[in-house]
């Protein structure tokens, strides 16, 4: 009984829970910053910089405008962080699933989209003029990328006939990786993820030269640190989710039958996650920021119809 509780606690807090996610988040952030720096002819930060930044921000004083709603401003980053951490529990890592049930994909997608709403709220309740403009932008952006993102991630579920992530992963090991069947869906999911993480060219809500810091302009200290951590862990969970849904999880094809299966699983999963992360980094070097109306155009005129096309094709194939 006690060992059961201990086991659950370890899974939640250490591996693959909070500590593992935190380590991944810092590592991913470092790889991301370093890659971008190298591509931009800069040196980039040393490996411990993300941790140093986090610790520094955590120890700084937190100041908010007098008109801001203090309890809500305190709660928002905490709830956002909790949402993405909870989402992580249902995403298999390296072939290991902490918790799984039929329909966990929907829960994960819901939990991953919560921070976007809290981000908007953060802008609204912290009352700065840049915060409010940034907040309304983030909401508009949410409606542009979220629909294609959801459609793209529904397609593999419909193909498999299951809304459980681990089943979708399992199915890919026996058949083929979803990315080969639904390349369009994969691209849409990638674009959606970039929008979700507010990376270039979709960093519209926090465009420095337009709205200073966006919804987080008035945040500082511990609260800001938690917001940053939320985005970092969201990056990790997003990348893991895409690896599971489209790249076959830890499956390495014929290599999976080699000895040391556990190690190979971890290696395969890590490699794929790294490739995804590098794709994100390279993309953010290549573009200028779009304007919010241009993003809305892109979302509704291009991405959403393509998502529908992907869904329709998947359903047709399923019906035949």
Partner 1 sequence: MTRVTIPIGPQHPLLKEPLSFMLTAEGERVVDSVLRLGYVHRGIERLAEERSWVQNVHLLERVCGICSHIHTTTYCQGVEALLELEVPPRAQMIRTLMCELERIHSHLLWLGVLAENVGFTTIFMYSWRDREMVLDIMEDLSGGRIAHAVNIIGGVRIDPDAEQLDSIRRGLDKLQQQVDTLLDVVQHERSLRVRTQHVGRTTKELVRRHCVVGPVARAVGIDEDIRRDAPYAAYDRLSFKVITESGGDVWATALVRVRETSESLSLCHQILDQLDPGDVATRAGRRVPAGEVVSRAEAPRGEVIYYIRSAGTDKPARLKIRTPTLPALSLLGEQLRDIKLADVPVVLSGVDLCIACADR
* 68 forms part of the interface with partner 1 (CB under 8 A): no
Of 198 and 272, the one with the shorter C-beta distance to partner 1 is 198
State the minimum distance, in angstroms, from the CB of residue 35 to partner 1: 12
* 136 forms part of the interface with partner 1 (CB under 8 A): yes
Among residues 108, 152, 153, 204, the one that binds partner 1 under rule CB under 8 A: 204
Of 2 and 286, the one with the shorter C-beta distance to partner 1 is 286
* 210 forms part of the interface with partner 1 (CB under 8 A): yes
* 212 forms part of the interface with partner 1 (CB under 8 A): yes
Q: Which residue has the tokens 């979708």?
A: 168
The answer to whether 35 and 281 have CB atoms below 8 angstroms apart is yes
Give the sign of the dihedral formed by CA 127, CA 128, CA 134, CA 136: positive
Total residues contacting partner 1 by CB under 8 A comes to 31
Distance CA 134, CA 285 (A): 22
Give the C-alpha distances (Å, rounded to integers) separating 137 from 149, 202, 206, 208, 252: 18, 11, 9, 13, 41
Q: Which residue stretch of 14-22, 180-188, 197-205, 256-264 sits at the interface with partner 1 (rule: CB under 8 A)?
A: 197-205
Query: Of the candidates 235, 230, 234, 204, which has an alpha carbon nearest to the alpha carbon of residue 219?
Result: 230
Distance CA 223, CA 63 (A): 9
Neighbours of 46 (CB within 10 A): 10
Distance CA 232, CA 26 (A): 7
Residue 90, preceding peptide bond in cis (omega within 30° of 0): no
* 41 forms part of the interface with partner 1 (CB under 8 A): yes
* 186 forms part of the interface with partner 1 (CB under 8 A): no
Q: Which residue stretch of 113-121, 177-185, 203-211, 246-254 sits at the interface with partner 1 (rule: CB under 8 A)?
A: 203-211
* 209 forms part of the interface with partner 1 (CB under 8 A): yes
- Kindly identify the residues of this chain, within the stretch 225-254, that bind partner 1 according to CB under 8 A: none
Of 65 and 262, the one with the shorter C-beta distance to partner 1 is 65
In the complex, the residues that contact partner 1 under the rule CB under 8 A are: 36, 39-42, 129-130, 132-133, 136-137, 200-201, 203-204, 207-212, 285-294
């Amino acid at each position: 009984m006690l060992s059961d509780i201990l086991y659950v606690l370890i899974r939640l807090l250490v591996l693959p829970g909070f500590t593992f996610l935190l380590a991944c988040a810092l590592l991913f952030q470092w790889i991301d910053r370093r890659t971008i720096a190298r591509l931009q002819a800069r040196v980039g930060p040393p490996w411990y910089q993300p941790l140093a930044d986090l610790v520094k921000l955590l120890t700084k004083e937190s100041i908010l405008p007098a008109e801001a709603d203090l309890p809500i401003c305190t709660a928002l980053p905490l709830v956002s962080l909790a949402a993405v951490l909870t989402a992580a529990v249902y995403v298999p890592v390296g072939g290991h699933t902490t918790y799984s049930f039929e329909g966990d994909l929907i829960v994960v997608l819901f939990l991953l989209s919560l921070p976007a709403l809290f981000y908007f709220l953060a802008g609204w309740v912290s009352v700065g003029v840049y915060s409010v403009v940034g907040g309304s932008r983030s909401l508009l952006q949410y409606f542009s990328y979220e629909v294609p993102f959801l459609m793209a991630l529904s397609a593999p579920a419909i193909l498999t006939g299951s809304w459980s992530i681990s089943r979708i992963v399992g199915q890919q090991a026996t058949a083929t990786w979803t990315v080969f069947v639904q390349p369009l869906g994969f691209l849409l999911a990638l674009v959606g993820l970039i929008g979700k993480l507010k990376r270039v060219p979709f960093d519209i809500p926090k465009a420095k030269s337009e709205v200073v810091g966006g919804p987080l302009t008035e945040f500082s200290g511990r609260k800001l640190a938690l917001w940053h951590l939320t985005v970092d862990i969201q990056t990790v969970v997003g990348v893991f989710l895409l690896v599971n849904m489209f790249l076959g999880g830890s499956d390495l094809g014929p290599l999976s039958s080699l000895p040391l299966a556990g190690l190979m699983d971890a290696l395969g999963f890590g490699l794929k996650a790294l490739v995804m992360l590098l794709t994100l980094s390279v993309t953010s070097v290549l573009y200028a920021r779009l304007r919010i109306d241009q993003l809305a155009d892109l979302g509704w005129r291009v991405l959403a119809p393509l998502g529908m096309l992907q869904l329709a094709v998947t359903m047709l194939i399923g019906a035949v």
